[in-house]
């Protein structure tokens, strides 16, 4: 306890936003890769170069429903004098033996089916009479309804060049080609490619498991009645949702009362399923800031890198912040302030990049833009603090929404950008160009 | 069977992309709303206007850790002549009875705690000696370590105006205000706001359940050995992932062989968990296009609006398409072509908007942009078809990737945009401005 007490009177250093973030990103390491089923790997980062084991397509195949023919047999074919060929069988995709197509012969063939031996080209069914002897048709009759379509004669009304309507083996990718490089984020088309080349599983960094808990004896679960002096817990909901949006699997523990022993044992319990722990509240200079109190003894202080530091940052909102690692696995922990807007802004600035770093993606930051400030009167900002104001961004213009108060959760719900006012700026005139973080 | 056979020779109308899409969007209706827990409602659309039941904050409270005081008692306070006040107790957030602050008195108060009766302002702890009698401090000592901090005397070194560091009741939102309007998509800050005003559940349109199945006797599960004439099933993976990206809960049924009876019973089985069914393959003019064959009898043909239409579209890739509804609930079904690129492009153009319509979002379409075509030689496109080429987009420029072949799944995996070549355009010169669909 004495160390916790000592902490509250020491550490007067004011950390810059950048130094705090740099400290976090230098500590958090990408998760160890695991082999996952394709659909479990959606949104994950590939950690291996994947090469093509078998060329795609793996064999010459038809790009049309039609007839596989020899070029010489149809060379003079026309509407008036069709080539009349003997149908020697059906070639359906994935089914049975391939017939040999000899001179004067044709095989009925389906899209994707292998070009049978002897055949040199495919004529689409629309260039034929479909074996019905009544002029051009628009399609084949279903095999189940008319099995005789695979026999008899077919009239072909147009010639075809060699390889016409044939997709060549390897024309998509060739065996040995690089399909996807390490570092690729696996979205739908990438998963499609992996499946197409036969990969059932893939080696990726898993989605980080993030445990979110809010602290405060005043917090009540939404939906329950509110007593005097109580408010609803909102941080654990907003931050769980934000962690998911960032790519994590989020576990909401809910609100923990301001009791250091309860908090400590709750966090220790959760470590088993946590790649990252996020707390809100209890990090400031009050007498009941139990996150600070509890976490100073969770880490093994004799071990290098263990323990949580509590800091004051040169930012608004979000001045008090904690960061460190806890437990036997040195699980990273970010302790955010308890005000809803402070905690959300802190999440965007520090937790989201930490989650993205755990995932192993290259670009861990939200996109930023320059925007013209649309406002009636100048914005004011405290000297020496980097201020993050909520705003709405559109077409290079940003409009502040709500005030600077860190409790303005209603305004936050209508914002889609953070307006950044640098440390050395105390006033921003309307029409000034400012930096904005796009919350997307 | 005769009706299926008849279909193959009829329906020569060529549908435009826009007419087909319009037909789909006119048929698919937003899902019926349900009441969901907040975190289950993430990404969903609110169907009710939510008003604020209780003002936020619900009571005047402190924005700082400090001391609640009467203004007159600290009006002349300075470093040299601090105001000396008697501490009458602690006000922690969410805990206990509030002390009355009389003349010459102060209550130690924590961030978020209610302003006690009698007090008019809060002085931050950093403006005081923290009750230690040794000049300004940087924070309080933890209550558990030093309970005496809530008694004795405190020296205040700076005056405070009335209401200083007090967040007024209702300063965030007032009871009766509109918190969020119907139609709002619930992201992290919106869920935070709903929690903050005490909503434990919320009425939204649920995420659509989309059943994806691919058809083709040639299809093999990735990871299994490939036999002659076989290829891997990739569509069911790519489209499941794409359905999730669009906001759906996706179920991958996998590949079904080209047998109409099996396909029909598989789809009927799946209807219980489907808000939308998506199939790939079997929709063209071949003799084994069993999706066409099977689905013509799944719907009750006597009932208005039931049944699936198979169409030819004026587009490339993706000419053959099926759309309709099946089963007792008239579940919408989109039957896409089987080529991987055709099916993916079809998904983007038709299935994604259908999913977004089921969700009830306003804007169901991908964003589009104008871009300058970066290419060495002119692109060619068939007359009368709207062509969708894969490309990479950056800063107003788009570069085609891969060719026009609908099997070029490797190129698709490296694309982030579709280049749209209109029906009446057969050649696009380098440097031309084109429309692109941003795949995001």
pLDDT score for B410: 85
Q: Which residues in chain A have their CB less than 8 angstroms from residue B230's CB?
A: 58, 94
pLDDT score for A197: 96
One domain for residues A123 and A81: yes
User: Are A222 and B408 inside 8 Å of each other by CB?
Assistant: no
Interface mutation vs chain B, best among A106, A244, A288, most B CBs within 10 Å: A288
Q: B residues 309-338 near A, CB within 8 Å?
A: 338
One domain for residues B188 and B302: no
pLDDT score for A176: 93
Query: Do residues A181 and A202 touch, judged by C-beta distance below 8 A?
Result: no
Query: Do residues A223 and A232 touch, judged by C-beta distance below 8 A?
Result: no
pLDDT score for B3: 38
d(CA A133, CA A115): 25
d(CA A55, CA A173): 6
User: Are B189 and A413 inside 8 Å of each other by CB?
Assistant: yes
The one-character DSSP state at B208 is P
Distance from CA of B198 to the nearest CA of A (A): 4
Query: Does residue B2 register a pLDDT over 80?
Result: no
In sequence order, which residues have a C-beta less than 8 Å from that of residue B355 and are 6 or more positions away? B208, B210, B243, B246, B247, B248, B276
Q: Which of A326, A359, A392 is the last residue of a domain?
A: A359
User: Are B112 and A242 inside 8 Å of each other by CB?
Assistant: no
* Beta-carbon pairs below 8 A across chains A and B: 395
User: Are A189 and B415 inside 8 Å of each other by CB?
Assistant: yes
Query: b/e map of A408-433 (b: 16 or more CB within 10 Å)?
Result: bbbbbbbbbbbbbbebebbebeeeee
User: Are A216 and B112 inside 8 Å of each other by CB?
Assistant: yes
User: Are B289 and A90 inside 8 Å of each other by CB?
Assistant: no
One domain for residues B320 and B234: yes
DSSP alpha helix (H) spans, B31-149: 71-74
Helix (H) or strand (E) holding B343: helix B340-346
Query: Does residue A266 register a pLDDT over 80?
Result: yes
Residue in the block written with tokens 């509109």: B178
Q: Which of B359, B379, B414 is the last residue of a domain?
A: B359
Q: Which residues in chain B have their CB less than 8 angstroms from residue A229's CB?
A: 59, 93-95, 98, 113-114
Cis peptide before B337 (omega within 30 of 0): no
Going by DSSP bridges, is the β-strand pair A66-69/A105-109 parallel, antiparallel, or unpaired?
A: antiparallel
Closest chain B CA to residue A115: B229
Closest chain A CA to residue B109: A286
Q: A residues 182-211 near B, CB within 8 Å?
A: 187-201
pLDDT in tens, A324-344: 999 999 999 999 999 999 999
Give the count of beta carbons closer than 10 Å to the beta carbon of residue A273. 11
One domain for residues A103 and A132: yes
B436 phi/psi in degrees, rounded to 5: -130, 145
pLDDT score for B150: 83
Query: Does residue A120 register a pLDDT over 70?
Result: yes
What is the arithmetic mean of pLDDT over A114-140? 91
Please report which confidence band the pLDDT of residue B5 belongs to, taking 50, 70 and 90 as the band edges: very low
> Which among B381, B360, B388 is positioned nearest to B426, based on CA atoms?
B381
Give strand ranges (E) for B341-422: 368-373, 379-380, 386-394, 397-400, 417-421
Q: Which residues in chain A have their CB less than 8 angstroms from residue B219's CB?
A: 94
One domain for residues B291 and B229: yes
Give the count of beta carbons closer than 10 Å to the beta carbon of residue A182. 14
Q: How many domains are contained in chain A?
A: 4
One domain for residues A278 and A195: no
A94 against B50, higher pLDDT: B50
One domain for residues B104 and B247: no
pLDDT score for A3: 38
Query: Does residue A69 register a pLDDT over 60?
Result: yes
pLDDT score for B233: 97
C-alpha of B313 from chain center: 30
Query: Does residue A421 register a pLDDT over 70?
Result: yes
CA distances from B332 to A366, B23, B351, B361 (A): 37, 12, 10, 18
User: Are A286 and B189 inside 8 Å of each other by CB?
Assistant: no
One domain for residues B218 and B353: yes
pLDDT score for A303: 54
Query: Does residue A194 register a pLDDT over 80?
Result: yes
At B254, which CATH number? 3.40.980.10
Query: Does residue A117 register a pLDDT over 50?
Result: yes
Q: B residues 20-79 near A, CB within 8 Å?
A: 38-39, 42, 54, 56-59, 63, 65
Closest chain A CA to residue B1: A145
CA atoms within 13 A on the CB side of A304: 1
d(CA B105, CA B83): 10
User: With DSSP H G I counted as helix, E B as strand and the rest as coil, what are the percentages for chain B, rounded to 5?
Assistant: 20, 30, 50
**Conformation bin of residue A56: beta by default, left when phi > 0, alpha when psi is -120 to 50:** beta
pLDDT score for B406: 59
Query: Does residue A135 register a pLDDT over 90?
Result: no
Task: Give the 3-state secondary structure of residue A126.
Answer: helix
Query: Does residue B394 register a pLDDT over 70?
Result: yes
What is the arithmetic mean of pLDDT over B89-101? 90
Q: Mean pLDDT check: name the lowest of A187-196, B36-45, B255-264.
A: B255-264
One domain for residues A137 and A277: no
One domain for residues B247 and B340: yes
Provide DSSP, A354-421.
HHHHHHT-S--SPPEEEEEE--SS-EE--TTSEEEEEEEEETTEEEE-S-S-TT-HHHHTT--EEEEE
Identity of the residue in B54, B150, B289 whose CB atom sits nearest the CB atom of A226: B54
Identity of the residue in B98, B191, B340 whose CB atom sits nearest the CB atom of A196: B340
Q: Which residues in chain A have their CB less than 8 angstroms from residue B224's CB?
A: 198, 200
User: Are A413 and B229 inside 8 Å of each other by CB?
Assistant: no
At B410, which CATH number? 2.40.340.10
pLDDT in tens, A386-411: 999 999 999 999 999 986 665 678 88
User: Are A4 and B216 inside 8 Å of each other by CB?
Assistant: no
Helix (H) or strand (E) holding A109: strand A105-109
Domain that holds residue A39: 34-57+171-205
Q: Which of A117, A147, A167 is the last residue of a domain?
A: A167
CA atoms within 13 A on the CB side of A107: 26
Please report which confidence band the pLDDT of residue A142 belongs to, taking 50, 70 and 90 as the band edges: confident
What is the arithmetic mean of pLDDT over A357-377? 95
User: Are A286 and B110 inside 8 Å of each other by CB?
Assistant: yes
One domain for residues A235 and A339: yes
One domain for residues A65 and A52: no
Q: Mean pLDDT check: name the lowest of A139-148, B220-229, B231-240.
A: A139-148
Distance from CA of B147 to the nearest CA of A (A): 9
User: Are B415 and A141 inside 8 Å of each other by CB?
Assistant: no
User: Are A56 and B410 inside 8 Å of each other by CB?
Assistant: yes
Query: Does residue A417 register a pLDDT over 90?
Result: yes
B40 phi/psi in degrees, rounded to 5: -80, -15
Query: Does residue A12 register a pLDDT over 80?
Result: no
Identity of the residue in A144, A242, A292 whose CB atom sits nearest the CB atom of B1: A144
Q: Which residues in chain A have their CB less than 8 angstroms from residue B87's CB?
A: none
What mean pLDDT is reported for chain B? 91
Please report which confidence band the pLDDT of residue A4 belongs to, taking 50, 70 and 90 as the band edges: very low
What is the arithmetic mean of pLDDT over B285-289? 86
pLDDT in tens, B131-160: 888 888 888 888 888 888 888 999 999 999
pLDDT score for A214: 96
Q: State the ipTM, two decimals.
A: 0.92
In sequence order, which residues have a C-beta less than 8 Å from that of residue A302 and are 6 or more positions away? none
What mean pLDDT is reported for chain A? 91
pLDDT score for A295: 87
pLDDT in tens, A226-251: 998 999 999 999 999 999 999 999 99
Please report which confidence band the pLDDT of residue B286 belongs to, taking 50, 70 and 90 as the band edges: confident
User: Are A193 and B413 inside 8 Å of each other by CB?
Assistant: yes
Distance from CA of A61 to the nearest CA of B (A): 9
d(CA B286, CA B165): 77
pLDDT in tens, A207-216: 999 999 999 9
CA distances from A107 to A69, A257, B140, B338 (A): 7, 77, 89, 22
Q: Which residues pair with B86 in a beta bridge?
A: B105, B153
Closest chain A CA to residue B409: A193
Distance from CA of A27 to the nearest CA of B (A): 26
Distance from CA of B245 to the nearest CA of A (A): 8
What is the arithmetic mean of pLDDT over B283-302? 76
Please report which confidence band the pLDDT of residue A304 belongs to, taking 50, 70 and 90 as the band edges: low
In sequence order, which residues have a C-beta less than 8 Å from that of residue A9 and are 6 or more positions away? B137, B138, B139
Q: B residues 252-271 near A, CB within 8 Å?
A: 252, 257-258, 260
pLDDT score for B104: 96
At A40, which CATH number? 3.90.105.10
Could you tell me if A160 lies within 8 Å of chain B, comparing CB atoms?
no
Q: A residues 352-391 near B, CB within 8 Å?
A: none
Task: Give the 3-state secondary structure of residue B300.
Answer: coil
pLDDT score for B9: 37
Identity of the residue in A54, A195, A288 whose CB atom sits nearest the CB atom of B92: A288
pLDDT score for B6: 34
Distance from CA of B5 to the nearest CA of A (A): 5
Q: Which residues in chain A have their CB less than 8 angstroms from residue B236's CB?
A: 195
Q: Which residues in chain A have their CB less than 8 angstroms from residue B190's CB?
A: 413
Could you tell me if B230 lies within 8 Å of chain A, comparing CB atoms?
yes
d(CA A276, CA A241): 15
Closest chain B CA to residue A227: B94
Could you tell me if A438 lies within 8 Å of chain B, comparing CB atoms?
no
d(CA B131, CA B128): 8
d(CA A242, CA A343): 11
Distance from CA of B231 to the nearest CA of A (A): 7
pLDDT score for A297: 56
């Amino acid at each position: 306890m004495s160390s916790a007490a000592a902490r509250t009177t020491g550490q007067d250093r004011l950390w810059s936003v950048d130094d705090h973030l740099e400290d976090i990103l230098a500590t958090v390491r990408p998760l160890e890769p695991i082999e996952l089923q394709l659909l479990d790997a959606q949104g994950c980062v590939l950690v291996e170069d994947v090469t093509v084991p078998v060329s795609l397509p793996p064999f010459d195949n038809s790009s049309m429903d039609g007839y596989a023919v020899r070029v010489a047999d149809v060379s003079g074919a026309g509407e008036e004098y069709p080539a009349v060929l003997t149908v020697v069988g059906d070639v359906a995709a994935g089914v049975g033996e391939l017939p040999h197509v000899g001179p004067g012969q044709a095989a009925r063939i389906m899209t994707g089916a292998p070009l049978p031996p002897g055949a040199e080209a495919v004529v689409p069914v629309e260039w034929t009479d479909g074996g019905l002897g009544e002029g051009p048709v628009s399609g084949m009759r279903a095999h189940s309804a008319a099995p005789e379509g695979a026999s008899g004669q077919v009239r072909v009304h147009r010639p075809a060049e060699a390889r016409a309507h044939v997709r060549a083996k390897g024309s998509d990718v060739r065996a040995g080609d690089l399909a996807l490089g390490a570092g690729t984020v696996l979205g739908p088309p990438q998963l499609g490619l992996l499946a197409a080349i036969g990969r059932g599983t893939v080696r990726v960094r898993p989605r980080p498991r993030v445990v979110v808990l809010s602290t405060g004896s005043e917090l009540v679960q939404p939906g329950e009645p509110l007593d005097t002096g109580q408010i609803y817990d909102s941080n654990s909901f907003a931050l769980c949702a934000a962690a998911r949006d960032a790519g994590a699997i989020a576990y909401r523990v809910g609100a923990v009362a301001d009791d250091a022993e309860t908090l400590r044992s709750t966090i220790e319990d959760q470590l088993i399923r946590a790649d990252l722990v996020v707390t809100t509240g209890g990090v400031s200079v009050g007498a009941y800031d139990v996150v600070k109190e509890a976490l100073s003894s969770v880490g093994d202080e004799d071990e290098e890198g263990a323990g949580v530091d509590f800091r004051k940052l040169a930012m608004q909102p979000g001045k008090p912040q904690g960061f460190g690692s806890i437990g036997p696995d040195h699980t990273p922990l970010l302790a955010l302030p308890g005000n809803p807007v402070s905690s959300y802004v802190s999440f965007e600035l520090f937790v989201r990049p930490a989650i993205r770093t755990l995932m192993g993606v290259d670009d861990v930051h939200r996109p930023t833009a320059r925007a013209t400030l649309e406002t009636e009167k100048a914005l004011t900002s405290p000297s020496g603090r980097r201020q993050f104001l909520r705003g709405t961004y559109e077409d290079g213009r940003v409009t502040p929404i709500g005030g600077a108060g860190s409790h303005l959760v209603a305004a936050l719900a209508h914002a889609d950008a953070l307006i950044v006012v640098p440390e050395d700026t105390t006033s921003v005139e309307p029409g000034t160009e400012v930096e904005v973080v796009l919350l997307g």
